[in-house]
Chains A and B, each alone.
Chain A
Amino acid sequence: MPVQNISSTPQFKFNDSQTMTKKLLVVVVAILYILHQDIWFWRTARLSIPSLGIDWMPFGFMPIGLFYQACFSVAAAFVMWLLVKYAWPSHLEREVEQSPAKEDRTS
């Protein structure tokens, strides 16, 4: 099978704005990971803030810890959308489409 000349692979570089966006996304993912450890709802089934007169169980039957984690899943989907929108490795697909038929595995 033909082996593509490695040096012919076009070079691709991210500009400063893209690099900053990627760093921000790393921070967002890290924050999301920390938010998963919701120790604040560890021992309660209801959202209770007596000083504000709040004593709430979502939908009347869902424990607050479960509701929080369900919302977390929705937030995870949103963060995945951000990653796809702003950090998608589209250069890989471009290069695959531009390259000839499968190359030899052996170096």
Chain B
Amino acid sequence: MIPAIVVFIYLAVVLYIGIFAFRKAASKKQAEDYFLASRSLGPFVFLFSLFGTNMTAFAILGSSGHAFANGIVTFGLMASSSGLVIPLTIFLVGTRVWALGKKYGFMTPVQMFRDRWECNHIGTVIFVVQAVLLVPYVIIGIMGGGTTLNAVSGGWVPYWFGGAIVALVVMGYVFFGGMRGTAWVNTFQTLLFLLFGTIAIVVIGVGMGGFGNAAQAIANSPALAPLLTRERISPYYFFSYTFIPLSAIAFPHILIFCLTAEKMAHFKKTVIFYPLCILAIWLPCVFLGVMANRVADVPEIRAKQEARRVLATQGKTMTPEQRDELRDKAAGDDVILHLLKRYAPLWLAGLLGAGIMAAVMASDSQILALSTMFTEDVFAHYGGKARFGETVQVQTGRIFVVILTLFAYAVALRAPETIFELAIQYAFSGFAALSPLLIAALFWKGSTKWGALASTLWVAAAVVAVAVFQQVVPAPAPGPPIVYWSIGGSEIISRTPGGTAVWGFMPVVPMVIISALLMFVVSKLTRKPSQKTVSKYFDFLRA
């Protein structure tokens, strides 16, 4: 009960921040102020809110869950690779998009693509693909909110009510505060998580009798010792994962966020400190996930380990449905919550629950980005702004926020969470494979709208193909993959326990490479934009 009350107080604070941002708005009627905070964010807010935007429920709860099952490899797979690739793309792409936005007034990536490649409906195709890939995040955010509130309150707050509260709070501060409110809330949330995450690791470490003993016990257990190494993961898979962080800069909410900085110099701290922020958040989450395997007196964690053991030893004789059921039972996304419940005092569990809620509620940026994209790329582009004016455009954006949140809540109540978890996995690969569009637009004079269309259609087709393949071919039991297609003894496509492999790599590798090749080949074969447009960009961007 006490943790739930702390979380409710936290939610009230977050809502107030959004309303305070509304009062502080320079103009409540200007689209640029609502959607981009008048491009006025300072370096501190820019760093922490950009980082907070990337720090989703998947990143926090998913990382400890992944580490619980797979060991320390999780950090190298998802965190340190992101610590290199994401700031690098912010440095190369984010700064240039910021400059173009400041100079030409762009508010969405599609606006820039339409102008850069002199296209109209192709921009709409890119909008649709981006939007479809982004919506699952909003839904999973609300699901995560419902699940977390339910867990933190010990079941006192039912899932449907927790999800409704989170949906209302997020909708409230995005509706009122727009980008300014979202950025302030994200900054608050990131600081909260950094602070209480540090306290959590100390408290849990002390509660477990010190990490040294726990690590030694894991190392001495033949079943658990591989969790301290990476022997369960193939180097091909590890390499493939370095392609996934390319998705960050291609996510519309991240790119739109890059437009909010007041000065380009504000990117400097973000670029330098981003790897350290990732280290500060992910290292404790991954480490705690691994150490949870040594906790013997938490029945929920023991049940997960038992499900994992049964899956490994008897999985081959089970039906796909039975294996899926066991995978759900073995999933460790809530191990941190169980560790908190076991080792943290009630008041601290509440504060830490609030910190986790902060991460779970990162769907605010996606909601705002979808609203910005709809009002700019569709409403304004097809004449709505010219006919009805800017005030109506902002009102449309706010109405869109309400409709989208209600839709996401309705879906979250009915659909199983695993579907959207899978959709997010596909979305990461999809956005990573859309990154060649940005690189080509900003760094290659010869790129054309037809190259962009070919890449975009390929990405859409590839995401659907992988999703259908994984739906049709059930995941095998832990062990060697099922080879689905091979040529001359060479394995082309395999179904692995965790997904799909193409020549041993994750699908994201061929998706990105083919997307880049299509952009190159089709652009070479088709007519370039006018010299005036090319000069407009490259006389400015050259470097």
Listed in ascending order, the chain A residues whose CB lies under 8 Å from chain B are 6, 9, 11-12, 14, 29, 32-33, 36-39, 41-45, 57, 59-63, 65-66, 69-70, 72-74, 76-77, 79-81, 83-84, 88-93, 95-96, 99, 102-107
Contacts and interface: CB of A to CB of B under 8 A. Distances in A.
A10 to B, nearest CB: 9
Interface residues of B, number: 65
Nearest to B233: A42
Nearest to A84: B268
Nearest to A13: B542
B484 interface: no
Contacts, number: 164
Given A9-B540, A37-B235, A70 B230 contact: no
A29 B91 CA distance: 13
A6 B210 CA distance: 65
A44 to B, nearest CB: 6
Q: Which 4 A-B pairs have the closest CB atoms?
A: A45-B228, A102-B105, A61-B211, A92-B99
A79 B76 CA distance: 18
Given A79-B84, A95-B103, 11 more contacts: A32-B84, A45-B228, A60-B215, A61-B210, A63-B215, A63-B229, A65-B76, A69-B80, A72-B83, A77-B275, A84-B272
Contacts of B271: 80, 83-84
A40 B75 CA distance: 16
A73 B229 contact: no
Interface of B: 72-73, 75-76, 79-81, 83-84, 87-88, 91, 95-96, 99, 102-106, 111, 115, 118, 210-212, 214-216, 219, 225, 228-231, 235, 238-239, 242, 263-265, 268, 271-276, 278-279, 283, 286-287, 529-530, 532-533, 535-536, 539-543
A66 B286 contact: yes
A42 B235 contact: yes
14 contacts: A9-B540, A44-B229, A65-B73, A69-B75, A73-B80, A76-B80, A76-B83, A76-B87, A77-B276, A81-B272, A93-B265, A106-B115, A107-B118, A107-B530
